[in-house]
A = this chain, B = another copy of it.
Amino acid sequence: MKTEIYGGTTILEPEPTFKPRRTWRNWLIGNPLATADAPKHTIGKLIGLAVFASDALSSTAYATQEIMFILAAAGTAAMMYVIPISIAIVTLMTIVAISYEQTIHAYPGGGGAYIVARDNLGELPAQTAGAALLTDYVLTVAVSVSSGVAQITSAFPALYPHRVLIAVSLVVFVMIMNLRGVKESGTAFAIPTYFFVLAMAVTIGMGFFRYFTGTLGTVVNPPAFDTGTVLLTVTPFLLLRAFSSGTSALTGIEAISNGITAFKEPRSRNAGITLIWMAAILGTFFMGISFLSTHIGAVPSEQETVISQLARTVFGADNFLYLAVIAGTAVILIMAANTAFADFPRLSAISANDGFLPRQFTFRGSRLVYSRGIIALAGVASLLIILFQASVNRLIPLYAIGVFLSFTLSQAGMARRWWKSGHLKPGVEIKEAGSTLVHDRNWVAKLIINGLGSVCTFVVMVVFAVTKFSEGGWVIVVLIPFLVAVFFTIHHHYKSLAGKLSLENYGSPRRIVRNRVIVPIAGVHRGSLTALTYARTLSDDVTAVHVSIDPVESKKVREKWAFYGEGTRLVILDSPYRLFLEPLMEYIQNLLALRHANEMITVVLPQFVPAHWWENLLHNQSALLLRFGLLFKPGVVIIEVPYQV
C-alpha cells in the first residue's frame, strides 16, 4: 500500500500495512480484488452470451405460444397467421438488434436506451428509459424465478406450499453468485444456458430433418383446444394483439447494450459480436419453433406448453431428449434472472453517477461488482415475490410495458442521432458526454429504419398498456412517472449540494477567532473530569454547566468543583421543572444569539462507553438528544469524549 504525504512538517508517520481481513464474507464471495486487476475480471463473448442472452432466449419458451393464444380466439384456422406474424416479429427484432449494435459502438460506456435518450432526447426521456429498464429488471427477476419455480412445483406438487421460500432462496443464490464477480457467475451459469441452447438446437434441427424427410407428423393426443368465446373472424386488431404478444420474444435483446462494461477489450467489438450471435440464435429459434409448431398442429393450452408438444412430436414422449428440453426450459427461465443481475447494477451505477440515484450505487464492492445494486435488486425482487406469493399470473401483466418503452426511446434516440449526423459537415466531430458524433453517409436509411422501429415498438407498448391496464398494468403506468419524479428529486439534492459545497467565489475561509467551550456536567467524577481535561486543550474559554434538578446533588457538584474544577468557570442553571435538556438548550441558544460571526461554540459531553450494549439502557441518552437539538444551528459543534468503563 502506497501512502503519499504532501506539505506540513515531517513527523513520525505510521507505516501503512493495510490488508483486508479474512472474514466470513471472503468465504461467501471470495477474497477482495484490487482495483488495478479490474481488466482481468471481464468476460469474453462465450461467457457474455450466456450471461446476457439468458433473458432473451428464455422468451423463446413462450413467445410462439403467446401468439397462438391470441389467435385461438378466431379458431384453428387463424393459426395460419402464426408464420406471417412471426416473420414480422423477426423483422422488428432485426431492426432493434441492428439499432442496439450501433448503439454499442456509439456508446462504449454502456447504458443502452438510457444513454441514447440522454444524449439525443434529453433528461426526461433518459430518466423515463432508466425507470422503465430498472423496473423491468426487477420484474424480470421476480417473474422468471417465479415461473421457474412454478415449473418445479408442477413436477413436484409437494413443494408448492414452499414456493415463496424456494423462489426467494433462488434469488439469494443468484445474488451471491453475482456478488462473487461477473466472471464467476457467468462461468457457473454458462452451463445451464448452453444446455438449453443445445437442447433447443437439437429439437429444431431434428424437427426440420423430419419435416423435410416427411416423418414429422402431428401432435399425438394434443391438449383440448380452449375454445372460449370464438370469434371465427380474424380482425386487424386481433392480429395486432397477436403480434404484440409475440414481441415478448424481443424482451432481453437490450441486455447487452446496458452491460458493455462487463466485456473484455475491445469491449464494443466483443459486445457487438455477442449481440449479433444472440439475435441470430434468438431469431432462428423463434422462427423455427413457430414454423414447426404450426406444422405439427400444436394447440395453445394451459395444460401443456407448445414447446412440450413440439419436443414430444419430434422425439416421442419417452425419449430422454424430450425430458432434456423440458428441464432446460425450466432452468433457462431461472437463468433469465441472471441477465437482470448483470444489467440492473450497471445501469443503476451509470444513473447514480449522473446523480439520479443514491451515489452508493456507484461503489464497486470487494469483487469489483456493483454490490449495492445487486443487493438492492435481490431485495426488491424478493419483496415482490413475497407480496405476490410467487404467482406468475399476477406479476406478468406488469412486465414488458417497461422494456418496450425503453425500446421506443432508444430507437427514437438513435433516429435523432442519425438526423444530427446527417446535418453535420463531413469531417466535423462533435464530442458528446458518452460518444463522438460524425457525419454518416447512410443517415437517411438508418433514420428510416430506426424511425420505423420506434413507431413499431411504441405501438406494441401502447397495445400492452391498454390490454393489460386493468390486470395490473396500471401499476407500471403509475410507477414509472413516480420513479422519474424520485430520480429528479435525488438529482436536485445532489446538484444543490454541489452548488453549496462549491469553492467558486469562496475566497479565503472565515477565521475562527474564538472557540467557546461548554462542558455540561451531571456530576463531578472521572468521566466529567476526562471531558474537562480534553475541553481545556481546545480553548482557553471553557465553561462547565450544571443543570440543577436536585439541590442536594448541586451542592455536591459545587463543593467538588472547588477542588477538582481547577479554576474553570462553573455555571449552575436552576431547573425548577426538573428538565435537563431544555435549560441547557436555552443557555446555548442565548450564547448563540450573542455569538460573533467568527466565534464557534463547542459543547463537550462526557460519554460512557459501557462494556455491553444493554447497559446503555440504564443511562439517559441526553448527548444524543442534545446533538439532535443542536444539529440545525450553525456555529455549534458537539463533541462526545468517550470514557471507557
Contact = CB atoms under 8 A, between A and B. Distances in A.
A558 interface: yes
Quickly give the copy total for this chain: 2
Interface stretch (A80-88, A219-227, A434-442, A490-498): A490-498
Contacts of A512: 533-534, 536-537
Given A12-B594, A16-B583, A533 B509 contact: yes
Nearest to A636: B642
A18 interface: yes
Given A497-B608, A526-B500, A632-B609, A590 B17 contact: yes
A158 interface: no
A214 interface: no
Contacts of A20: 577, 579, 582
Contacts of A562: 6-7
Contacts of A12: 594
A577 B35 contact: yes
B5 A600 contact: no
Contacts of A15: 590
A502 B490 contact: no
Contact of A524 (B503, B532, B579): B503
A619 B490 CA distance: 11
Contact of A570 (B8, B11, B509, B570): B8
Contact of A537 (B33, B506, B600): B600
Interface stretch (A107-115, A178-186, A464-472, A610-618): A610-618
Interface residues of A, number: 111
A502 B525 contact: yes
Given A525-B503, A578-B363, A644 B639 contact: no
A525 to B, nearest CB: 4
Contacts of A497: 608, 610, 645
A539 B538 CA distance: 7
A619 B574 contact: no
Contact of A16 (B360, B533, B586, B634): B586
Interface string A561-597: 1101111111111111111001100110011011000
A36 to B, nearest CB: 6
Nearest to A494: B618
Contacts of A13: 571
Given A512-B537, A578-B363, A503 B526 contact: yes
A619 B493 CA distance: 11
Given A32-B577, A497-B608, A577-B20, A593 B14 contact: yes
A510 B493 CA distance: 46
B360 A620 contact: yes
A545 to B, nearest CB: 10
Contacts of A35: 549, 576-578
24 contacts: A1-B583, A3-B573, A5-B571, A6-B569, A6-B570, A6-B571, A7-B561, A16-B587, A16-B590, A17-B586, A32-B579, A358-B617, A493-B615, A502-B526, A503-B560, A509-B532, A512-B533, A515-B537, A534-B600, A537-B600, A609-B632, A631-B642, A637-B640, A638-B640
Given A35-B549, A503-B529, A503-B560, 13 more contacts: A1-B576, A3-B572, A4-B574, A5-B570, A14-B587, A16-B573, A17-B590, A20-B582, A32-B579, A33-B577, A493-B615, A493-B618, A512-B536
Nearest 10 A/B pairs, CB to CB? A8-B569, A14-B590, A501-B525, A4-B572, A34-B576, A18-B586, A32-B577, A2-B574, A6-B570, A18-B583
